[in-house]
Amino acid sequence: MDLLLKVWRQKDKKAKGKMEDYKVSGISEDSSFLEMLDILNNNLILEGKEPISFDHDCREGICGMCSLYINGRAHGPDRGVTTCQLHMRMFNDGDTIYIEPWRSKAMPVIKDLVVDRSSFDRIQHAGGFISVNTSGNSQDANAIPIEKNDADKAFDAAACIGCGACVATCKNASAMLFVSAKVSQYAYLPQGQVERKERVKNMVAQMDKEGFGNCTNTGACEIECPKGISIEYIAKMNKEYLSASISSEE
Ligand code: FES
């Protein structure tokens, strides 16, 4: 495949970025999107030019590091995949592909296609720990009864890899899908009960402090989430937050 790539280039956080054109040829449709960018970067290095910076780590849809806005969609045109799992067979020979970073005030561009997602780390830190006795006489995990429906919901919420596609795709740059998944994965389990109320209040407070927007229920986050996290979790988080706020006023 021969392709024209229009890629966002930005020297650093303060620089004014712009789209630049690059041609790549002979790309296999079996290549992943990131392998195609590797080929482009090899070519740029051989030409003595600066390679394009982009984030990646596991390249298996696990770590949540890869984060590209491709042809106006978070993680590109395929459903239920991260950028590293996107394959070139989703494109056609001769295509023009637009490649941009996530765009959100709370996740500023550091360089080219790399954004600073430490706001997500700070939200998780605000959630804190769970109180579980792990020394000596700790209870066997299998001896703690968990209702099947709750276990399934906690497991589904825990599938969130924190990639930030929900923020990138939301017109309000809201992080509520991410935060609600992180709140819910503990709220459904017995191990999460001790700090349940403080956790949701602290995480929501940190989310607001980071400058993320509010949710207006467009549902775009659910559609673009590579792990299929449902917006039902946002309703769950709102319920958790209301309940925690009312009980702390009593
Ligand atoms: S590089 Fe880890 S999810 Fe894509």
For 3-111, give the CATH class.
Answer: alpha beta
* Secondary structure of 169-234 in HEC code, one letter for each residue: HCCCCECHHHHHHHHHHHHCCHHHCCCHHHHHHHHHHHHHHHCCECCCCCCHHHHHCCCCCCCHHH
Residue 66 Cα: closest atom of ligand 1: 4
Q: Where in the chain is the domain with CATH 3.10.20.30?
A: 3-111
Q: CA 237, 198, 218: angle at the middle one, nearest 5?
A: 20
pTM above 0.75, yes or no: yes
pLDDT tens for residues 57-101?
999 999 999 999 999 999 999 999 999 999 999 999 999 999 999
pLDDT tens for residues 207-238?
999 999 999 999 999 999 999 999 999 999 99
Q: How far is the CA of 198 from the centre of ligand 1 (A)?
A: 31
CATH node for 118-249: 1.10.1060.10
The answer to whether residue 134 scores a pLDDT higher than 90 is no
Q: Which residue ranges have their beta carbon within 6 Å of ligand 1?
A: 56-59, 61-66, 82-84
Averaged confidence pLDDT in the chain: 95
10 Å CB burial of residue 224 (0-12, 13-18, 19+) is buried
Residue 85 Cα: closest atom of ligand 1: 4
Residue 161 Cα: closest atom of ligand 1: 3
